Amino acid sequence: MAALETFELGPLLNVVAPDFALSNHEHRRQSLENLMGAKGVMLGFIGDIWLPTSVRRIFWLQRNATKFALSGAPAALLVRENAHTLYGFRMSSPLPVPFPLLADVNGDVHRLYNMAQHPGLVLLDRNRVVREKWLVPDERVWPKMQELVKAIDSL
């Protein structure tokens, strides 16, 4: 099944995304502005960090985070967990986690972006405008890397 790309689900395209600030695994606040690269940012949204699907998505991001950063839109992952749980995951991961894991404990930012019910990715440009979104069913990890890099290159 292909990734869902609809106007009804996820954030609206071509509108300014809401600003936010969340704590990372070290309880340090990260604002949306701090996450931005030269072209923008790729935000990932997941629920429980320990679910097998979430772990697969994080491992995929670990392997591909450099591609996002080099393309000008580094990745950040918003997780519906507390900072202490994110710290535990980082410490237990067999690979370094080269992108921010952000604690959206109550799902407030997930709801702001209309991503509370759907894991997925949202690409924002440097002006915080939502340029692309990918809502991903459980049987998929993420969209193909070529598709994501092409979207970043179009910014």
> What tens-digit pLDDT sequence spans the chain (155 residues)?
344 445 568 899 999 999 999 999 999 999 999 999 999 999 999 999 999 999 999 999 999 999 999 999 999 999 999 999 999 999 999 989 999 999 999 999 999 999 998 899 999 999 999 999 999 988 889 999 999 999 999 99
30 in a structural domain:
yes
User: What pairing do the DSSP bridges indicate for beta strands 101-103 and 75-79?
Assistant: parallel
Count of residues for the chain? 155
Distance of CA 149 to CAs 41, 51, 96, Å?
12, 26, 22
Domain holding 68, by residue range, is 21-153
Q: Domain containing 95 — which CATH number? A: 3.40.30.10
5 in a structural domain:
no
Number of domains forming the structure of the chain: 1
108 in a structural domain:
yes
